[in-house]
Structure 1
């Protein structure tokens, strides 16, 4: 994608395919969801319950889920945060060592597992010109809905070990956006609310251009003068403006807030379907799925492709819609998949399967998923069989999987899309579809699908089966280097891995496989350097034992010193459960 700051040259203009004169990119082109409801009630009703709709809302009595009664608090790093509501709205107060700061709550983020909050400083020791008084950013504590408790936010910035985490009670005198706080409207809102796509093409053109099904040319001067005339100097053409003036206009577009200039707060119909006002008013029977505008053109290397352009519901166009938000950069495992969620399309695109597949082959975009994935394992298998019919027969499937039919090992996704991805409160499936014999994962002692189920088995047990079943070969020196001691259960090794993402999968694998014999090892995960790992370990251990750790006084966000005494009590409790479980003995090579 190329964004033109100057007027487009005549020499190449005639070579491009116009997408206009119809426009579905400006805010004025979009329809209100209530208008869509008249003809699409089923989809509207499903969307109305979808977390997408509530991804970002103005803070109100209806939208705020957290307990702002003033009766709940969180003690963290020697400070206390309290949460109140008044006639002026909701607020968050942080106090430590006789110093306090009050933050207003202006917007909400999320509604399914956690709810985070956006606001700004309204009272504190900082001077009035301090930037945190004047910019809305993600506030330091969120509400864990299922547990009905306040917790520190995670993944607003890079997730790091405790000793490197920001201290929310310590505010820098010269705070910098993107380092000391994160302006919500600049860093987050583009995906959490619905903006006109023309605005997004300027706000996030590298990402949108990368995943576009066509090579795009977009006129910034033409679009801004058309869609935001208040931002374009009256009577000026692009070559009349300096680089600083053009950069200032781009910055002004980047600062547009959803509450004032967006199509809607949260994700609404137009986020995927674009501007449908003409269609909703009966002036267009079949609206295009692809962006259209007099200011947007498509370039093709040959005339044949130019003649065959489609603005309809093509697989590449459908996928580009999801890619607008579900892409980005994350830490990766050895095979290239992300370690935590939200960039599912980036992962899927690395999969050989995704040369033909689309997101909507598995996901119904209007219907909410709910707390857990609703499809059965058989339905998931059926999704795979659409493209892999050679495994549809029972005989072929069993020959391929070497597992009994309908067992966990016979399910496509358990082997090819295992739960490697850190979700919001549970491990979820990676969207990079790959083979369980991947040497980059196995040789580096990163999670493999076999030992995620067979958590009690050592690596040589796994290698023997992969060799016998699939003729897989691995570098034995790499295996010997990565697995020490080589004879121990692989999942126990993952618990002690140098990468926090692998430790997270190790704990989850032991819990899912019912490994009560490993409770002593799992207790170590409650003391992990990474707060998210401790949170997931607490959830898993409580699930595995059927006992709450609350009575022990353990809180996953405690400092290391604060955790010491509660962990003694936790280990005593877990040993009572583990005493009747048999720890697996060493298994040699066959």
Structure 2
């Protein structure tokens, strides 16, 4: 591919979220000291560790951390490259394989109405969605605009793979998506960005290095070369600094996870300005090397070199990472949610990431420990509720309503075309869902109920919690109409995505019935401009519906289904039009 075409792709690192070194140079900062010449770090790759730690290696090998990033090969590429053709917005993308190499022929970003064939050089993802990267001559790995949904085994355009409004620009959500700048640090071990500049000091590409693709042993246990040399009998070796996260204090332990599952902006004085090597070492405080932010506004201020030690800007209505009350709304921010939890006690108590998760356990999907698949993890700190569970939950003991995390860690998080549990462990306060965009936990299960119903139920709770709920002011629509339907009618795309996802949950179908879902969702699908929200609503319909199909195909199927389900009973047609006309619908993007 020519240099002119790559210029048209717009993949210069200055456009990427992680490329703040380029856009905010700080020449006055001193370079960090170089490591002693006689103790170079030679990465201990996972196979080295396997020699002595076979069980740990085998359990880690089964996890999706290992396969976050891989070079393209027959055993790593999961998409259908057997001559598959996928059409989106009039462009036909063809996926083919020649020997052990894989190719995507798709729209050329610099030449209208033409296609170009790109070799797939690297893949990101092996759990939910797999992205395909092409290596440019500049060393930049650029995300191609067509993704593969692993669960459904189908091709999806990036417009439908991320929460963003549909666009006529075929490359919009891939333009500027450079692996070296945005995916490198949390999807690999021992990353060094190694940006390259031309003779005039302008960004000219990368010579990126990693110790190992994917998340492997050194990411959590620290540098292992000295440990290896010691175990192999070397008589002269530096200090053995391998860390066992489970033996660290809670705060240091969780920062090992928070390095990738937290909202961070590097502190330039702590990072090497030449290599941009990640300096974090497990066991050291994370904030020595990074700022933690709690809104996209704060992120931008920190990246621009304007740290505000005491100011935590309130997330605005288009924030793609946090709800209006500060709760993380997307994945990869679990550490921030935990930090906001009273149970966490600022890292001084017993609760930690490892209370519920184990990298070397028996469950490679979400790494959840057996005790955390029910209530045991919560009851280990709150034993009094074991004997009065139903009195506290007011739900049947064997139902979803009596699982602690149903109410205290509800599905208020969106990413990767589905919804996930919040890691902010909190009492479901009604006030937190008024004016913040964040759906209330009760109404993510009781989809047929209004916030007025929720207020009345919560007000029955004894003590301050009930009084706080009773004091919340609701408008007449919130009092009278299903909170879920209202959210889909007048909420922003973030709220609509989370609520639409709830319609697929079996617990919600049992709690509020499902016979009314089709009438509501097919009416809303007709006018939804976010492909992901359409997908989540379509997934919840009682009958098959391809929400990512071509517009004409969708319209024909919707007419058929609307005739079958009939019109919604409530709100009335007049109220429906009034509420829909008042929708808060700014452009929002969630890049996860």
Q: Same fold (TM over 0.5)?
A: yes
Q: Aligned partners of 1:353 and 1:23: how far apart in 2?
A: 46
Q: Aligned partners of 1:278 and 1:321: how far apart in 2?
A: 20
Residue from 151, 164, 170 that aligns with 1:146? 151
Shift of 1:562: 5.7
Residue from 243, 252, 255 that aligns with 2:206? 255
- The 3-state SS of whatever aligns with 2:189 is coil
- The 3-state SS of whatever aligns with 2:503 is helix
Sort the Cα spacing of 1:33 and 1:8 in 2 relative to 1 into closer, same or farther, 3 A.
closer
**What are the superposed Cα offsets for residues 330-354 of structure 1, whole Å, 9 maximum, x if unpaired?**
4322332222222211222222222
CA contact (8 A) 1:517 1:583 kept: no
1:548 aligns with 2:552: no
Residue from 90, 114, 134 that aligns with 1:99? 114
CA contact (8 A) 1:108 1:117 kept: yes
Q: Aligned partners of 1:320 and 1:93: how far apart in 2?
A: 42
CA contact (8 A) 2:124 2:131 kept: yes
**What are the superposed Cα offsets for residues 16-45 of structure 1, whole Å, 9 maximum, x if unpaired?**
xxxx99999x641x2121121122111111
Match of residue 505 from structure 1? 498
Shift of 1:438: 4.3
Residue from 152, 160, 173 that aligns with 2:164? 160
Shift of 1:120: 4.7
**What are the superposed Cα offsets for residues 97-148 of structure 1, whole Å, 9 maximum, x if unpaired?**
7521221211011111221110057xxxxxxxxxx88632111011112222
- The 3-state SS of whatever aligns with 1:73 is strand
**Superposition map of 1:492-571 within 5 A:** 492-512=485-505, 513-514=508-509, 515-527=514-526, 528-541=528-541, 545=542, 547-549=543-545, 554-556=546-548, 558-559=550-551, 563-571=554-562
CA contact (8 A) 2:139 2:206 kept: no
**Superposition map of 1:144-293 within 5 A:** 144-153=149-158, 159-163=163-167, 166-168=169-171, 180-195=175-190, 199=192, 255-257=206-208, 261-281=209-229, 282=231, 287-288=240-241
Sort the Cα spacing of 1:500 and 1:45 in 2 relative to 1 into closer, same or farther, 3 A.
same
Q: Aligned partners of 1:40 and 1:49: how far apart in 2?
A: 15
Match of residue 236 from structure 1? none
1:6 aligns with 2:34: no
What TM-score, normalized by structure 2, do the two folds share? 0.69
Match of residue 38 from structure 1? 51
Match of residue 53 from structure 1? 66
Number of equivalenced pairs = 470
CA contact (8 A) 1:415 1:436 kept: yes
**Superposition map of 1:388-427 within 5 A:** 388-391=382-385, 393-395=386-388, 397-427=389-419
- The 3-state SS of whatever aligns with 2:423 is coil
Q: Give the gaps of 5 or more residues in structure 2.
A: 1-25, 264-295, 297-319, 573-592
CA contact (8 A) 2:85 2:94 kept: yes
CA contact (8 A) 2:44 2:223 kept: yes
CA contact (8 A) 1:56 1:266 kept: yes
1:364 aligns with 2:369: no
Q: Aligned partners of 1:371 and 1:64: how far apart in 2?
A: 19
**Superposition map of 1:306-321 within 5 A:** 313-321=248-256
CA contact (8 A) 1:289 1:317 kept: no
- The 3-state SS of whatever aligns with 2:468 is coil
CA contact (8 A) 1:59 1:106 kept: yes
Q: Aligned partners of 2:559 and 2:44: how far apart in 1?
A: 59
CA contact (8 A) 1:50 1:368 kept: no
Shift of 1:81: 0.6
Shift of 1:427: 1.6
Q: Aligned partners of 1:36 and 1:401: how far apart in 2?
A: 46
**What are the superposed Cα offsets for residues 325-380 of structure 1, whole Å, 9 maximum, x if unpaired?**
11225432233222222221122222222223221111112347555786678744
1:85 aligns with 2:97: yes
What TM-score, normalized by structure 1, do the two folds share? 0.70
Q: Aligned partners of 1:272 and 1:155: how far apart in 2?
A: 33
Sort the Cα spacing of 1:446 and 1:33 in 2 relative to 1 into closer, same or farther, 3 A.
closer
Shift of 1:160: 2.4
Match of residue 141 from structure 2? 136
Residue from 440, 452, 463 that aligns with 2:444? 452
Q: Aligned partners of 1:493 and 1:406: how far apart in 2?
A: 30
Shift of 1:430: 0.6
RMSD: 4.0
Residue from 327, 343, 358 that aligns with 2:262? 327
Shift of 1:432: 1.0
Residue from 65, 86, 100 that aligns with 1:74? 86
Q: Which moved more, 1:432-441 or 1:510-519?
A: 510-519
Q: Aligned partners of 1:417 and 1:59: how far apart in 2?
A: 37
CA contact (8 A) 1:494 1:505 kept: no
Sort the Cα spacing of 1:465 and 1:548 in 2 relative to 1 into closer, same or farther, 3 A.
same
- The 3-state SS of whatever aligns with 1:321 is helix
Shift of 1:417: 0.5
Sort the Cα spacing of 1:41 and 1:378 in 2 relative to 1 into closer, same or farther, 3 A.
closer
Shift of 1:84: 1.0
Q: Aligned partners of 1:120 and 1:287: how far apart in 2?
A: 37
Shift of 1:443: 5.5
Q: Which moved more, 1:439-448 or 1:267-276?
A: 439-448
Sort the Cα spacing of 1:369 and 1:387 in 2 relative to 1 into closer, same or farther, 3 A.
same
Shift of 1:442: 3.8
Match of residue 211 from structure 1? none
- The 3-state SS of whatever aligns with 1:536 is helix
**What are the superposed Cα offsets for residues 529-553 of structure 1, whole Å, 9 maximum, x if unpaired?**
1111112222222xxx2x433xxxx
Q: Give the gaps of 5 or more residues in structure 1.
A: 10-19, 122-131, 171-177, 204-230, 232-243, 292-309, 586-590
CA contact (8 A) 1:289 1:313 kept: no
